[in-house]
Chains A and B, each alone.
Chain A
Amino acid sequence: VIEHLGPQLFNGLVLGAFYAIVAIGLSLIMNLTGTINMAHGSFMTLAGYLAFTIVSRGMPFWVALIVAPLIAVIVGVVVERTLVRPLYKRLPFYSLLMTFGLSLIAEEAYRLIWGANGVPFSGPKELSGTIGLGFMSFPTFRLFIVVVLVVAMVALALFLTRTRFGLRLRAAVQDTEMIAALGTNTQVLYMINFGLGIFLAGIAGVLAAGMLGLSPTSGNQLLMPAFVTVIIGGMGSLFGSIVGGVLIGVAISMTTLFIPAASEVSMYILMAIVLLLRPRGLFGEEGIFG
């Protein structure tokens, strides 16, 4: 068991990075508009399948990694403008229900287009080997995943803190009416914010398809850990989502190694503990959405 500890720990970190990036996307959308996007996993799956189609048409993986999430973003923005937007003025619960319905339709649509069973999809050949770092060797594709996800998170953090648009976004989370009164078009803000969340989901979706497999429900399997990540890390905290995601990823991989029967339940136990000790989450701010 012990010789598996290192690789399992690394796997936990990779999983954690996935959970974190999905949670960040969810959190972005939830924070600004109060929308729990139950279709988030469906957008991940969509990007995965689009990447599969792009690669199977003979184009390189790298093109798919960029183009597939962008197409998902276009679909996402159309959905936001037509279906989510009318619900902003209503109780947040309604958008939860609406996106839930959307995810049901998406799942069935993927089944119709790409088949009920999973399709084979893996990373590019250049990344198929392993890299030895002396004490242990890492699968190159998984290292690549970590690098991409970390770059995405850093880029997002810079975008939110160093650009005027990011500043407006963060201000809108604090007080939407005030930022609207000061002349910012909040509808554009909502749209771009939603697109941003979907873009992150899309990148995660393509990478996850290469590592965890691709089927009509594969994205939804990352959705529940992402919810738990948001709760553990704290709503409205980018850093919290990263810490929460890594905590859960490691907890799952460690219980898989030592107590396999508890692997799914472990994250819920973690969540329960955090809720008892710190209901707002590890890095959450008091007062955001109760």
Chain B
Amino acid sequence: VSSRSGLAAFIPIVGVLAFAPLLSPLIHLDISIVAEVLLFAIAAMSVNLLLGYTGLPAFGNAAYFGLGAYGAALSIKYWHVHFLEAVLIGTAAAFIGALILGPFLLRRRGIYFGLLSIAFGQVFYFIAYRYTDVTGGEDGMNVARPYLGVESAHVTLSETSYYYIALAVFVAAILAFRVIANSPFGRTLVAIRQNEPRVRYLGLDSDRFIFVALLVSATLAGVAGSLFAMNINFAYPLMLDWHQSGDFVLMMILGGAGTIWGPLVGAFIYVIGKDIISTITPLWQIFLGALFIACVLGFPRGILGTIAALTQRPPAYAEEEHGG
């Protein structure tokens, strides 16, 4: 459904993104902001897999995002690792975080899963906040962007080359996501969202599918987080906070839950909107809150979902009725 249109859109979207370093100065946009759009889009994609596809209210993905960020930040600071190593360590930290939390989160479904995600996610926030000696506590920590590859090469990453790394990772993530979404595994996740008991009656262990989805989701969020920390050269505890999780969810819903390109559209509106509004007024948070409410009440299918509905293509994420 949306995947076919997803493929058709691939070339023009990536084409425009490839020229972003040339285009963004024309509208006075810092290229690192565009990189931020791509990285937040990956994080929103990680929410999309759990919420948009599997139907689990993943309200704690900032934990994995922040684990990625701190994994990279701490390994750079204390072990002086290179760029690739930092990304790998950050991603591994997020993966391990999900490996530990998974068995607990899997105990419940529905809104209970949401509550558990919010609550367990806060553990990492408090750890980062508390262990000031190691993490810098509330003030956060600076992240010196490391050299690419071997030390002797000493290739420092400029803003533009860093943007292209973010773009490459984004393209890889979206292709991987598309493969996953269209695989039997991805179809099973959608089936779990629609009717988990039936999936179990068919002899499929839905717990295992959800656990794998959680691990994939955390890995995506971890990659995004580690790259984000090196993009802004900073890691801070609020990256791990449930408000950050809420923002990722908003980006996903805003763009269109259960669509391939929704997270990118949502992240774009969120980041650029924040950038513009913050220069005009300090009341960004009120706009953000209003955006949440408008999105939920006005267009819950998101921008792409609404367009898909208008062009008579049912979105992958059809609204399910809740008796209550």
Number of A-B residue pairs having CB atoms within 8 Å of each other in the complex: 136
Residues on the A chain within 8 Å of B111, using CB: 30, 34, 36, 92-93, 96, 289
Which residues 108-125 of B sit at the A interface, judged by CB distance below 8 A?
Answer: 108-116, 118-120, 122-123
Docked complex Cα distance between A265 and B242 (Å): 15
Chain B's closest residue to A39 (CB) is B289
Count B interface residues, CB 8 Å: 50
Which residues 71-116 of A sit at the B interface, judged by CB distance below 8 A?
Answer: 83, 86-98, 100-109, 112
Known contacts A90-B300, A96-B57, A264-B126: does B289 contact A235 (CB below 8 Å)? Answer: no
Main secondary structure of the interface of A (DSSP, over half): helix
Main secondary structure of the interface of B (DSSP, over half): helix
B283 adjacent to A92 (CB under 8 Å): no
Does A276 count as interface, using CB distance less than 8 angstroms?
A: yes
- Select one of A89, A97, A224, A279 contacting B249, CB under 8 A: A97
Does B53 count as interface, using CB distance less than 8 angstroms?
A: no
Docked complex Cα distance between A96 and B112 (Å): 12
- Select one of B113, B286, B322 contacting A108, CB under 8 A: B286
Does B293 count as interface, using CB distance less than 8 angstroms?
A: yes
Instruction: From B115, B129, B285, name the one whose CB has the most chain A CB atoms within 10 angstroms.
Output: B115
Residues on the B chain within 8 Å of A279, using CB: 107-108
Which residues 82-106 of B sit at the A interface, judged by CB distance below 8 A?
Answer: 104
Does B74 count as interface, using CB distance less than 8 angstroms?
A: no
A261 adjacent to B296 (CB under 8 Å): no
Docked complex Cα distance between A120 and B127 (Å): 30
Docked complex Cα distance between A109 and B109 (Å): 34
Count A interface residues, CB 8 Å: 48
Chain B's closest residue to A94 (CB) is B296
Does B51 count as interface, using CB distance less than 8 angstroms?
A: yes
Chain A to chain B: the 7 pairs with minimum beta-carbon distance, closest first: A101-B292, A104-B289, A105-B289, A290-B109, A264-B126, A279-B107, A290-B110
**16 more A-B residue pairs beyond the given contacts A83-B297, A106-B289, A268-B123, with a C-beta to C-beta distance below 8 A:** A34-B324, A36-B114, A92-B57, A94-B296, A96-B57, A101-B250, A101-B288, A103-B289, A104-B286, A105-B285, A176-B323, A176-B324, A265-B123, A265-B127, A275-B108, A276-B107
